[in-house]
């Protein structure tokens, strides 16, 4: 079995693959101050509660955008699983041609999502949109060239910024807004967050189609915690919640 981990700024997501099947997925709030023992005990307990023997884990690959946790995480995996984990970082095989001025700057989650999308949809021009703490938009050509993309504040950060940066605006629930013209302050914020992000994503996809892909419509893949909020808006050709974990697994297979 393979253990894959996606350590984000808000949440650590894990997945267990048995052959090519994702048999377990779990989440934990990211705490950059976690000790190796805390991480190791948590991971073992999750597996135990789901009927999986930790000794069955033979390979581990991690994607982390939280550098302060990486040492503890690596130590935990070695101590509690006896495995030297592979971390997605500059220098490993990705199967992508990284057309970035400094590839070391690319977030591991962006690389993993791009790997997952490119392996899932070979020979297609892709736009990969990950809606988490930040919203990242990445472009991958049918020749597996990673061209870069855009980074925007995520929906939750945007709501928090409005609440903390103003005197009267409240924190609101992030939902699919039903009204483009909000008739209360809460509705207005929800409308701004929902339709503002939808409009931005549509504009990016339009510009990529026009200026990068020569008018050819790219295949748009959505992932991340907020992607499902836009499911009925038809922003995405496909939503794959486990896309980053799939990319992490693909990276492990390329680097064995």
pLDDT tens digit string along 155-195?
999 999 999 999 999 999 999 998 999 999 999 999 999 99
CATH number of the domain encompassing residue 224: 3.30.420.40
42 and 82 belong to one structural domain: yes
Same domain, 243 and 170: yes
- State the pLDDT confidence band at 19, using cuts at 50, 70 and 90: confident
Q: Is 109 a catalytic residue?
A: yes
Catalytic residue among 109, 138, 143, 237: 109
234 with 118, same domain: the answer is yes
DSSP-assigned states of every residue in 6-61? EE-SSEEEEEEEETTEEEEEEEEE--TT--HHHHHHHHHHHHHHTT--GGG--EEE
Residue 252, in any domain of the structure: no
- The last residue of one of the domains, among 32, 62, 87, is 87
Residue 238 lies in a domain: yes
The count of domains in the chain is: 2
Q: Are 81 and 123 in a shared domain?
A: no
Residue 91: the pLDDT is 87
Tell whether the torsion through CA atoms of 240, 245, 248 and 249 is positive or negative.
negative
Residue 44 burial (10 A CB sphere; 0-12, 13-18, 19+) = middle
Question: Residue 184 falls within a domain, yes or no?
Answer: yes
Mapped onto helix, strand or coil, the DSSP state of residue 138 is strand
Q: Quick one: how far is CA 70 from the chain centroid?
A: 17
Identify the band that residue 6 occupies on the pLDDT scale cut at 50, 70 and 90: very high
pTM here?
0.94
- Label the pairing between strands 2-7 and 11-18: antiparallel
* Shared-domain flag, residues 188 and 219: yes
Express each pLDDT in 63-77 by its tens digit.
999 999 999 999 999
One domain, residues 110 and 34 = no
pLDDT at 197: 96
* Residue 256 forms part of a structural domain: no
Helices (H), 85-184: 108-120, 155-165
Q: What is the pLDDT of residue 168?
A: 92
**C-alpha of 121 from chain center:** 17
Q: Decide if 254 is inside a domain.
A: no
Is 48 within the bounds of a domain?
yes
**Which of residues 33, 58, 87 is at a domain's end?**
87
Which residue, among 195, 177, 196, 197, has the nearest Cα to 187 in the 3D structure?
Answer: 177
Please tell me whether residues 19 and 146 are part of one structural domain. Answer: no
Asked if 125 and 228 sit in the same domain, the reply is yes
DSSP code for 81: H
What spatial distance separates the first Cα and last Cα of the chain, rounded to whole Å? 14
Domain match, 125 and 62 both: no
Q: What is the rounded average pLDDT for all residues in the chain?
A: 95
Asked if residue 200 is part of any domain, the answer here is yes
Rounded CA separation 83/80 (Å): 8
Same domain, 151 and 208: yes
Across the range 47-57, mean pLDDT stands at 96
pLDDT at site 1: 95
Q: Which of 87, 120, 140 is the last residue of a domain?
A: 87
CA–CA distance, 117 with 128 (Å, rounded to integer): 7
Residues 43 and 143 in one domain: no
Based on the number of CB atoms within 10 Å of its own CB, is 125 exposed (0-12), middle (13-18) or buried (19 or more)? buried
Identify the pLDDT of residue 256.
Answer: 85
- Give the domain extent around 32: 2-87
Judge whether 50 lies within some domain. Answer: yes
């Amino acid at each position: 079995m393979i253990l894959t981990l996606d350590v984000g700024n808000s949440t650590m997501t894990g997945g267990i693959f048995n052959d090519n099947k994702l048999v377990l997925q779990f989440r934990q709030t990211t705490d950059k101050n976690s000790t190796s023992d805390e991480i190791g005990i948590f991971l073992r307990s999750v597996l135990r509660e789901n009927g999986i023997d930790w000794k069955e884990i033979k390979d581990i690959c991690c994607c982390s955008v939280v550098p302060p946790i990486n040492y503890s995480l690596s130590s935990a995996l070695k101590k509690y699983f006896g495995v030297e984990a592979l971390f997605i970082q500059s220098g490993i095989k990705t199967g992508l041609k990284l057309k970035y001025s400094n590839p070391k700057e690319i977030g591991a989650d962006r690389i993993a999502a791009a790997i997952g999308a490119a392996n899932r949809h070979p020979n297609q021009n892709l736009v990969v949109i990950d809606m988490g703490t930040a919203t990242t938009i990445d472009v991958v050509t049918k020749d597996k060239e990673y061209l870069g993309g855009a980074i925007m504040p995520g929906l939750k950060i945007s709501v928090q910024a409005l609440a903390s940066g103003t005197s009267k605006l409240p924190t609101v629930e992030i939902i699919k807004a039903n009204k483009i013209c909000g008739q209360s302050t809460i509705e207005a914020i929800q409308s701004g967050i929902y339709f503002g992000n939808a409009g931005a994503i549509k504009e990016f996809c339009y510009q990529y189609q026009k200026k990068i892909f020569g008018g050819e419509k790219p295949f748009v893949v959505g992932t991340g915690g907020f992607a499902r909020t836009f499911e009925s808006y038809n922003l995405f050709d496909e939503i794959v919640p486990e896309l980053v974990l799939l990319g992490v697994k693909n990276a492990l297979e390329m680097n064995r």
